[in-house]
A and B are shown apart, each in its own frame.
Chain A
Amino acid sequence: MSKYTEDDLREELKTKEYEYGFYTDIESDTFPVGLNEDIVRAISQKKEEPQWMTDWRLEAFRIWKEMTEPEWANVKYEKPDFQAISYYSAPNSKPKYNSIDEVDPELLATFEKLGISLDEQKKLAGVAMDVVVDSVSVATTFKKTLGEKGIIFCSISEAIKEHPELVKKYIGTVVPQKDNFYAALNSAVFSDGSFCYIPKGVKCPMELSTYFRINQAGTGQFERTLVIADKGSYVSYLEGCTAPSRDENQLHAAVVELIALDDAEIKYSTVQNWYPGNAEGKGGVFNFVTKRGFCETNAKISWTQVETGSAITWKYPSCILKGDNSIGEFYSIAVTNNYQQADTGTKMIHLGKNTKSTIISKGISAGKSQNSYRGLVQISSRAENARNFSQCDSLLMGNACGAHTFPYIEVKNKSAKIEHEATTSKIGEDQIFYCNQRGIDTEKAIALIVNGFSKDVLNKLPMEFAVEAQKLLEISLEGSVG
């Protein structure tokens, strides 16, 4: 090595990015495109996070840099350029429209079908609202009820500031930074998300969704959710919304971590209806999500999902059944139409004794879409008397789409009982004929049959969402049958 001279220093300074350059920029709403350590630091700073959080993000970023994008999923897409994305933009407080008349009528028609109230329609479409709306007071009431029970429900950035001990203890324990490419990316740059803590023995009195829907504005591109149910508690949580979301962000990489301590139960429902791209398959959201739950003794985690949106879905809500007698459940409906591609399923990792898991997955493919179920059931050698039941059914509409199943079953204990079954079928002409005969037109008949097909899963959704989800299925498949 030659000696380090002044010339070298000058050279180095020229090529090096100015380390503290983002101080000046911090007031601006949007960061420049690209991703490096400075951006990660700046995000952390912008959110006024403590040092440990910044370090945690940086560690994740360093891991991410070493990783490559996974290619095993049964989806084809053009890989996003991670250096061409802006990783932080402050929520835009300015309304997009001044009155509801300016909103895309197609969008409004969909709202109408879903039966969403006018106020909510405005909110969802980004229309300016009167200052005095019901929701504010409703939200306050909710907050009060929850507060009385000791339930913490806030944004994750707030939690990092207000409850650092809880966040520090649990974040990354279920989905570590190095888990996979997108989880690492999320850990480095997550902008916001939700945090929920249910204290010992408390039964959360309401679906947290209700509150969520009224209170929470647009959700970020890199969401991070952490739900902790302490011993003996119960919570039901609904994420997402049935309303179509016209989000401009192409890439979504969220991470959800659920922790159910002894005897606790978490029910997590998702309805996802992001922009799937147009009928020719142009545009649409890439949805790469890592969701995982951790069950202690006698705990139960139940995932329910209705996936109708996104151009690409890559999502495997999983359960680690560590405690004895713990239970994992997965109920899913995935609908793909036009050029959508979904590769979704679950992992059930049985570690404890007498653990049980149930998997019900319904895939519906129409148009030119591809729908895959990919699941893993793993019984470790110590998991005595583990029990699993899996069922994946696929419904095909037209012969341009595809349905695929990739179930992996790995068993290392002789007392395990595993059942797996899968079927593929189409809507029978006789079924349609039966409906037609009774005066039900074909479109309605299909909706009826699809509803019947997915009933097992729809029943698991909280009541009010089940109704909306049903309608959502109809809308998603509109025009798919000629």
Chain B
Amino acid sequence: MDLKEKLIASFLVFENQTDVDTYVHDIRTDAIKTFEEKGFPSKKEEAWKYTSLNSILKQDYSVFPKQENALEYKDIKKYFIHDIDTYKIVFIDGKYSSHLSQTTHDGMDVCLMSAALSKPKYRLVIENYFNVAATKDSLTSLNTAFSSEGAYIHIPKNKLVDKPIQIINFSTGNESATMVQPRNLIVVEENSHVQIIERHQSLTDNPVLTNSVTEVFTKKRAIVDYYKIQNDNTNASLIDNTFIKQLRESICSVHTFSFGGKLTRNNLNFYQHGERIDSTLKGITIIGDKQHVDHNTLVHHIEPNCESHQDYKGIFGDSATGVFNGKVVVEKEAQKTNAFQANNNILVSDKAAINTKPQLEIFADDVKCSHGCTIGQLDESAMFYLRSRGIPEKEAKALLMYAFSNNVLDSVKIPEIKQRINKIIANKLGVNIGFDL
């Protein structure tokens, strides 16, 4: 039985376990139908031209965790940004772990999707926002069909959230292969501000496939900073689907740091519904081995006077493959749009490959849109400069690569994240330099 059949069969089991007389369940039933029609995407589809899921779909994943697993905080402390106080929503194999988490209902809701789906007081929010920004593509539909758990964050008007929120998904690997499908909903009302850190981490080498969907709504003048840290084991694969619907004058930035995992696909979609919106999409990718990272971004400029900034840097070693597929659509009405996109890559090894496709679709005439894309090597004269001052080759290379990716970190607003990323980069490049000078 292949994975698709297995998932469709599992849906019936899932239906038996859940309350089917709800608003959400109708959406789930529609979604499984969509998935059944479309199946998993293949390389024939333009959006998946450079990324094949075949190798990761072969595994016999268990779709529901058989038992609840507990973890000790001291064992997994290093995966948290632990030097600052944060709200935490922690899942272990898709199940909520209350003793590791720190949620709140004090003036805002930082809690669980399962609670939001079942309790009547959240009904209005769910009906207004659940599955509204998400698209109907096959993987998102698959997640929608099985959506039951994840983070639910609702920030009311005029609220400055006092500390960042961490969403961490652990996979224990107690079963030979696991598939998890977290579903997050984040609604930030007018004038509010929130910072979110998201991480997926597997704790053993058993294969894990995560198909995650996150919907973010930023209302008028809201500010959202979202950080995705992807530094997983070499057998873990992640398909991250994020949909962000922005209303006027809101500011949203998403930083994606991809350093690990077997296959990582980031579908990051921004929809600008309103004027004077600012969207930022940035990323650093440093991978080696046979890793594969695919950034698939979309910024849809629907109304006038908005901006978007994209900046993705990639360093690829060994037999790694990088894909960047960035699309900017500017609708006819979206005059005075400023859209910038940059994608810079360095190939370090002969077997590494990069496929990039920056795409512009523009229907308005009074716009400033540009994209730039480069693929190159480290500057030899810069290398010489460092070497002639007694810096060993490895360190000199690392310094230059760090400098290359550094400007993505400039816009990171939490210093502890910056430090953490610096450490990971140093580790990834095999040097022992503290980059924060």
| Chain A interface residues (CB < 8 Å from chain B) | 72, 381, 394, 396-426
Contacts and interface: CB of A to CB of B under 8 A. Distances in A.
A413 B348 CA distance: 9
A399 B365 contact: yes
B216 to A, nearest CB: 28
Interface stretch (B27-35, B68-76, B281-289, B350-358): B350-358
A399 B337 CA distance: 13
Given A411-B347, A421-B370, A394 B375 contact: no
A412 B373 contact: no
A409 B356 contact: yes
A409 B357 contact: yes
24 contacts: A381-B350, A381-B351, A394-B362, A397-B365, A400-B332, A401-B365, A403-B360, A404-B362, A406-B357, A408-B355, A409-B354, A411-B347, A411-B355, A411-B375, A412-B353, A414-B347, A414-B348, A414-B377, A420-B372, A422-B360, A422-B370, A423-B370, A424-B367, A424-B368
A104 B352 CA distance: 61
A421 B341 CA distance: 10
Interface string B325-368: 00000001001000000000101111111111111111111111
Given A405-B359, A409-B357, A418 B375 contact: yes
B415 interface: no
Contacts of B351: 381
A475 B373 CA distance: 35
Interface in B307-323: none
B161 interface: no
A391 to B, nearest CB: 10
A152 B335 CA distance: 55
Given A401-B363, A406-B357, A413-B347, 4 more contacts: A414-B349, A419-B372, A421-B370, A422-B358
B281 to A, nearest CB: 17
B355 A410 contact: yes
A411 B320 CA distance: 12
Nearest to A426: B365
A414 B374 contact: no
A408 B354 CA distance: 11
A325 B117 CA distance: 64
A403 B364 CA distance: 9
B123 interface: no
Nearest to A425: B368
Nearest to A387: B376
Contacts of B361: 402, 404
Contact of A414 (B350, B364, B373): B350
A87 B348 CA distance: 54
A422 B371 contact: yes
A411 B353 contact: yes
A403 B362 contact: yes
A396 B366 CA distance: 8
A411 B354 contact: yes
A296 to B, nearest CB: 25
Contacts of B399: none
Contacts of B347: 411, 413-414, 416
Nearest to A403: B362
B355 A417 contact: no
* Leading 6 A-B pairs by shortest Cβ distance: A414-B347, A396-B365, A418-B375, A420-B373, A426-B365, A424-B369
Contacts of A422: 358, 360, 370-372
Contacts of B367: 396, 424-426
A420 B354 CA distance: 14
B369 A407 contact: no
A38 B120 CA distance: 74
B45 to A, nearest CB: 11
A419 B335 contact: no
Interface of B: 46, 50, 332, 335, 345, 347-377
A424 B367 CA distance: 7
A396 B364 contact: yes
A430 B335 CA distance: 17
Contacts of A409: 354-357, 373, 375
B375 A424 contact: no
A145 B374 CA distance: 47
B375 A396 contact: no
Nearest to B368: A425
B366 to A, nearest CB: 6
Contacts of A421: 370-373
B321 to A, nearest CB: 9
Contacts of B357: 406-409
Given A396-B365, A423-B370, A410 B353 contact: yes
A399 B363 CA distance: 6
A415 B377 contact: yes
Contacts of A426: 365-367
A407 B366 CA distance: 22
Contacts of B358: 405, 407, 420, 422
Contacts of A405: 358-360, 371
A352 to B, nearest CB: 16
Nearest to B333: A399
B34 to A, nearest CB: 23
A418 B373 contact: yes
Contacts of A406: 357, 359
Given A400-B332, A411-B375, A412-B353, A423 B362 contact: no
A423 B353 contact: no
B370 A424 contact: yes
A463 B127 CA distance: 67
Nearest to A386: B375
A399 B332 contact: yes
B66 to A, nearest CB: 43
Contacts of B363: 399, 401-402
Nearest to A72: B46
Contact of A417 (B354, B356, B373, B377): B377
A418 B377 CA distance: 10
A418 B350 CA distance: 16
A409 B326 CA distance: 12
A397 B366 CA distance: 9
B350 A420 contact: no
Contacts of B46: 72
Q: Of residues B355, B361, B374, which shows the largest number of chain A Cβ atoms within 10 Å of its Cβ?
A: B361
B369 A423 contact: yes
A9 B356 CA distance: 60
Nearest to A74: B361
A402 B328 CA distance: 13
Nearest to B370: A423
Contacts of A402: 361-363
B330 to A, nearest CB: 8
A79 to B, nearest CB: 20
A405 B360 CA distance: 5
A409 B314 CA distance: 14
Contacts of B356: 408-409
Nearest to B325: A408
Contacts of A72: 46
Contact of B374 (A401, A410, A420): A420
B215 to A, nearest CB: 28
Contacts of A411: 345, 347, 353-355, 375
B372 to A, nearest CB: 5
Q: Of residues B356, B362, B371, which shows the largest number of chain A Cβ atoms within 10 Å of its Cβ?
A: B362
A417 B362 contact: no
B291 to A, nearest CB: 16
B374 A424 contact: no
A252 to B, nearest CB: 27
B297 to A, nearest CB: 15
B376 A417 contact: yes
